[in-house]
A and B are shown apart, each in its own frame.
Chain A
Amino acid sequence: MSMQAALPVAMIPGNSIIHRINPIAKLVWVVGYVVLAFSTQNIVVLYSMALFALLLAPIAGITKPLLKGALILVPVGSSLLALQIIAPAVERPWTPVGEIGPLTLYGDGIYYGFVLLGRIVASLLLALVMVMTTHPSDLFTSLSKLKVPYTLNFMLAMTLQLIPVFQREVGIIMSAQKSRGMKGKGFSAVLPSFVPVFVGAIERVQQLSISLESRGFGSNGIKTSYRQVRGRPSDWVIGIVGALALGGLSAYSIWRGTWNISSDIVFSPLFVVVTFVISATLFFGVVLFAVFLSLKK
């Protein structure tokens, strides 16, 4: 089909070392990453995690799609930083470091801003690496080996797999309505584009449930999978090392009371102002770009 609205986070087929790691081992790492990211406030740890995830990308051959998927971080991250500088999420008193127009900039929130950003960046990058290198079926096959009920697996799998289907559907519907002269923006475009999508979705789910039941979905017995997933010794090593390292660091962080090193780092007023200007510019740049795109015919 023409409107290949390729999902930015779809799996990128490949046979790299990362691709071949057992999905459970990867899942351990992702979960470990999230736990560690939210139990520490140490920016060195957080950005090392992000860097590590980033380094996996060239190994897996997914650098370009990963960076594309990570673009979502630009508006999120820049708004986060900018907000923390003008309205720190720490207790007053705040120390003003500069003024831009009506806005007073404070240095107190910037560390916390970087922590928040680091958590998101680290977790998202590793999660993207995992999603982009793991066939959904493999993940669910592995999960069912761990005795996760297959109906639950199926629901997860369907949710993931239907997204590209619907994206394609939306593409076709938008093409069809544009061919009828629909302007493709504003409120007038909502009904013509969404009614067919929803009706199509409901019909699809109905058909799916009928076809599933006709193939014995819900019957008892052990489910097997067409795709075989192996757990090699190396997978065990990766999984266990991940669990120990990330779990250990999390425990250490919690023991150190979030391991906050903000007192060791002094951000110069100039750095704060520059960071604010850059992040605010990026954020408004993204907003303006989105407005521009929506206004463009």
Chain B
Amino acid sequence: MTDATPSALSPLAIDVRGARYVYPTGNVTALGGVDLQVKPGEIIGIIGQNGSGKTTLTKLLNGLLKPTAGTVIVDGVDTAKKSVQEMAPHVGYVFQNPNHQLFARTVQMELEFGPRNIGLSEEEIAVRVAEAVEFFGLQDYIEEHPYRVSFPIRKLVGIASIVAMRPPILILDEPSTGQDHNTTHVINGLMRRLRDQGTTVVCVSHDMPLLADVVERVIVMKSTEIIADASPREVFADKTLMARTNLQAPQVTEIALQTVVPLGGPVALTPAELAADIAMRTGRPAAARTDAVG
């Protein structure tokens, strides 16, 4: 269960209309008139080069920044009228570097911090923390100091500390940065499971294979604007778009585009997909991979 209560303002999870953001110092436009509608339970990725406005957009979503024009309604709440703290029950924001938020003496206490801040009862806090521990598989670490666990676990603790607040909308900033393949894989799976539980997931990332694997919709940003909003398949197959934004489709998609796509094959997003198509064409079954994503 989530606390999703889309009110009268908007039935959408995220409803951004004409949002602009100009930094007060130096009149730098960081976001120029953006529209974005996301339905509850969607899982979207935001891509674009550094400085394209991705982070500004996500910061508008949880009220860390207020739009200088336009409206940003998240979980039915107008972010311009609420403080970040008031937005916390509505939208969770996982920062890129877990070291920027961990401070408590134990992982357990770290996870309790958010739920306590939003004023839940002790019983409810215990339930949510236990659930987050279970969900993220942190059972072995709850008594550890957050800085003493390995970086990948720290990252999970960081995400868990937000998820324990059960925000109906979860924003992840670069969840796979500095993570090994395994942890990325785990985070992938968690994002999907959260989506399955009804959480709207927004993932900002440069990790194209991760996005190709997990999101259903990709928002492409360039020079402070959204220039494309489509399925990962459409986005990654669009060579001009990729070239314009200096982005690179996942290698497997590139290979598919150069090989099977001209033959009528799929714009593969995962190795498994491409392998299946090749197997079908050659009549030889693909060798099973133990780490196949899924």
Contacts and interface: CB of A to CB of B under 8 A. Distances in A.
Q: How large is the interface on A (under 10, 10 to 19, 20 to 34, 35 or more residues)?
A: 20 to 34
Interface in B80-112: 83-89, 92-93, 95, 97, 99-104
A297 B165 CA distance: 20
A180 B161 CA distance: 8
Contacts of A173: 100-101
Nearest to A183: B85
B59 A180 contact: no
Q: How large is the interface on B (under 10, 10 to 19, 20 to 34, 35 or more residues)?
A: 20 to 34
A175 B103 CA distance: 14
Nearest to A178: B84
User: Chain A interface secondary structure, helix, strand, loop or mixed?
Assistant: helix
Contacts of A148: none
A93 interface: no
Contact of A181 (B23, B59, B165): B165
Nearest to B164: A180
A180 B117 contact: yes
B117 A182 contact: yes
Interface string A182-195: 11100000011111
B88 A181 contact: yes
A4 interface: yes
Given A2-B56, A181-B89, A195 B62 contact: no
A179 B88 contact: yes
Given A2-B56, A4-B25, A180 B114 contact: yes
A175 B114 contact: no
B59 A2 contact: yes
Interface stretch (A122-130, A135-143, A196-204): A196-204
B100 A178 contact: no
Contacts, number: 82
A175 B161 CA distance: 15
B118 interface: yes
A219 B86 CA distance: 54
Given A178-B64, A180-B113, A297 B83 contact: yes
B65 A2 contact: yes
Contact of B118 (A176, A181, A192): A181
Contacts of B95: 172, 175-176, 179
Interface of B: 23, 25, 30, 55-56, 59, 62, 64-65, 83-89, 92-93, 95, 97, 99-104, 113-114, 117-118, 147, 161-162, 165
Give 5 nearest A-B pairs by CB, closest first.
A181-B117, A195-B103, A181-B88, A179-B93, A176-B101
Given A180-B88, A181-B165, A203-B99, 9 more contacts: A175-B64, A181-B85, A181-B117, A191-B103, A192-B113, A195-B102, A195-B103, A199-B99, A297-B83
Interface of A: 2, 4, 6, 169, 172-173, 175-184, 191-196, 199-200, 203, 297
7 contacts: A172-B100, A178-B85, A179-B93, A180-B114, A181-B118, A191-B103, A199-B99
